[in-house]
Amino acid sequence: NAGVTQTPKFRILKIGQSMTLQCTQDMNHNYMYWYRQDPGMGLKLIYYSVGAGITDKGEVPNGYNVSRSTTEDFPLRLELAAPSQTSVYFCASIPAGSTDTQYFGPGTRLTVL
């Protein structure tokens, strides 16, 4: 198993551009999450999904959109990039009924200039 994979690893965007951060897991996990990490602030939940076709907002959803058309993929879309979206983005997943922790991807470092 590759686990949770994220692409790209790094990206620089200009203000107003759009992009999609990709997240894929090959463990057949029902639950998937997007977090952003900012210095001194820990990680904050952007969106999450409890299964294909079902998504919900987390603590900081403004400026982002998600979709979950398959169990494996959970892309995060930035429509109009802003400097406030400069951050490191982590995707994570966990199977239903687990007492374990979430499995995290390696992260995407995004800079908006």
Partner 1 sequence: AQSVTQLGSHVSVSEGALVLLRCNYSSSVPPYLFWYVQYPNQGLQLLLKYTSAATLVKGINGFEAEFKKSETSFHLTKPSAHMSDAAEYFCAVSGSNYKLTFGKGTLLTVNP
CB of 55: closest distance to partner 1 in angstroms?
A: 11
Q: Tell me if residue 84 falls in helix, strand or coil.
A: helix
Q: Which residue, 62 or 99, has its beta carbon nearer to partner 1?
A: 99
Query: How far is 24 from 38, CA to CA, in rounded Å?
Result: 23
CA distance 57 to 33: 10
The single-letter code of the amino acid at 81 is A
Question: Under the criterion CB under 8 A, does residue 14 sit at the interface with partner 1?
Answer: no
Q: Give Cα separations from 12 to 39, 44, 50, 93 (angstroms).
A: 18, 21, 30, 26
In whole angstroms, how close is the CB of 104 to partner 1 at the nearest point? Answer: 5
* Interactions with partner 1, residue window 74-103 (CB under 8 A): 90, 92, 94, 98-102
Residue of 31, 34, 64, 89 interacting with partner 1 (CB under 8 A): 31
Residue 9 in the binding site for partner 1 (CB under 8 A): no
33 binds partner 1 (CB under 8 A): yes
DSSP strand pairing (64-66 vs 54-57): unpaired
Residues forming contacts to partner 1 in the complex (CB under 8 A) are: 31, 33, 35, 40-45, 48, 50, 56, 58, 90, 92, 94, 98-102, 104-107
